Structure 1
Amino acid sequence: MNTDEKNRYFQELAHNLQHEGFTVKPETEDGLLPVDLDGQRLCQITETSGVRYWKEDVASDSRQEALDRVTAITKSTAEYMRQMETAPQLTASGLTGDYRLLADFNNVVLAGHPTRYGVQFVTWERVRERTALHQGHYHGPDIGLESYTAAKRDFAARSGLVPRSALFTPEQMTEIYRCIHETLDGNCPITEERQKCLESTAEQIEHSVPDLDERVALSNGKELEYADALFAESNGMQFGI
């Protein structure tokens, strides 16, 4: 990786980490990218996507979970930035700008478009004997790493690589996650095998939906509002303005 490639990678990684609430400091003299959380040192990232840390900085469960999240973001960002550096330019009638062809299957393409705010991902259908593009679906870059995750999911479904019925939306996974924890936290007895299966499924969803906590809180809030409305209605209560 040359200097320009490293700078582009670190810039993109900083964008994704900051979107998740981490603080990214300037690159050190040793070529490492320092990452802080809540004003305290968490780890340092190498240009090869390695994550270095001190044990005392991840002593609590919450700090360890934060380190795991940084590691996941680092690996995924490195994955698509390596592709961006080697992918050919996407050419089509009427298309202008820097678009890299990341995937092409069944007349559907996945492209990456570098911007000053991070990489934007787009899926298109090829039309007119593959000379033009149609119906672009744009992902990010304002939502951080979720742009890449959503674009891959969109490409897999549009191209037929994966049946749409086999893919769950973030909203669906949020409700599945809530149902899992309602079962795990409930009083009904469950077998050890089922408990392990539910716990592993919940963990998988946690890694698949970056803003899961916010989605769960929003879903819980709406349900509480609905319950309050039902209670008020059943008791004949009326609220004036």
Structure 2
Amino acid sequence: MESTPKASTEYLEELRIQLRSQGFTVHCGESRDMDVEYGGSTLCRIDDCGNLGYFAEKIAGKEAILDRIRETVRSTRKYMTLIEQAPPLEAEGLGEGYKLLAEFNGTVLAGHMTEYGAQFITWDWTHNRKSLWQGHYYGAGGDGGGYQAAKQNFAVRSGLLPSSALFTPEQLTEVYRSIHETLDSEYPLTDERRKLLESAAGQIEDVVLDLDKRVDLSNRAELDASHSGGMELS
């Protein structure tokens, strides 16, 4: 029986950075295993091959949090594999270590490893296609939306998608809240509509990695507005 190959050091370090940026506490052992803690309880362990195992007795009521960890493991592995396998991006004035992840219609999506984690950049080629300009930077360390935000920016800048086809994280947060307000209400729903709403909520959870934090902030802002009368006088 073949053993699972060990994950790269860069991938495991990036995974630690991403988990910590979402509020998880990560304890690393000498074997490179990671214990992921949330709310004072260790929920799961990620081994040096990138496999996730969890403590069943500790996740009761925290399944959604475990799903978020799983999605972070999956998405981080995906973009780190892309960076590792992508060809170098070469342009005048550009340093070493930049990888070409995608290119379309004169726009490029690049990946670059820094001491703070993976960084993603979209650029446009100049007319002679020798140099790049108008860089938009995402990451590192979970800042600026990271890979997901960079992909969306690339799609819009290159003309693959119109900007009106994409929702901001703020918009998705409010849609998510509205979905759950409908699901949790006593309003009668058909099974088909309930499944569609639950599916939409699941998709938003996959896209907005800090969704719990955004929902909490939105709830607090609404409560503050209600306590102050909900009106502002000019």
TM-score, normalised to structure 2, is 0.85
Alignment-derived partner of residue 61 in structure 2: 61
Deviation digits for residues 96-116 of structure 1 (CA, Å, limit 9, x no counterpart): 242111111221111111111
Alignment-derived partner of residue 135 in structure 2: 136
| Structure number, greater radius of gyration | 1
Alignment-derived partner of residue 84 in structure 2: 85
Determine if the alignment matches structure 1 residue 23 to structure 2 residue 20: no
Q: What's the CA shift for 1:232?
A: 6.7
Amino acid across the alignment from 1:11 = E
Aligned positions of 1:137-156 closer than 5 A: 137-143=136-142, 146-156=145-155
How many residues end up aligned between the 2 structures? 230
Alignment-derived partner of residue 45 in structure 2: 44
Question: Are residues 44 and 124 of structure 1, via their aligned partners in 2, closer, same or farther at CA, if it must alter by over 3 Å?
Answer: same
Determine helix, strand or coil for the equivalent of 2:8: helix
Determine helix, strand or coil for the equivalent of 1:196: helix
Structure 1 range deviating more: 10-19 or 209-218: 209-218
Unaligned runs of 5+ in 1: none
Deviation digits for residues 45-92 of structure 1 (CA, Å, limit 9, x no counterpart): 23443212332333x021x32222221111111111112222222111
If asked which structure has higher relative contact order (CA below 8 Å, sep 6+), I would say 2
Aligned 8 A contact 2:18 2:141 in 1: no
Deviation digits for residues 23-51 of structure 1 (CA, Å, limit 9, x no counterpart): 2222443x533323334332222344321
Aligned 8 A contact 2:44 2:52 in 1: yes
Q: What's the CA shift for 1:136?
A: 0.8
Aligned 8 A contact 1:16 1:144 in 2: no
Aligned positions of 1:1-241 closer than 5 A: 6-29=8-31, 31-58=32-59, 60-62=60-62, 64-143=63-142, 146-227=145-226
Structure 1 range deviating more: 220-229 or 70-79: 220-229
Aligned 8 A contact 1:33 1:45 in 2: yes
Q: What's the CA shift for 1:216?
A: 2.4
State the Cα RMSD in Å: 2.7
Q: Distance in 2 between the 1:229 and 1:200 partners?
A: 35
Question: Are residues 2 and 203 of structure 1, via their aligned partners in 2, closer, same or farther at CA, if it must alter by over 3 Å?
Answer: closer
Identity of aligned residues (%): 47
Amino acid across the alignment from 1:18 = R
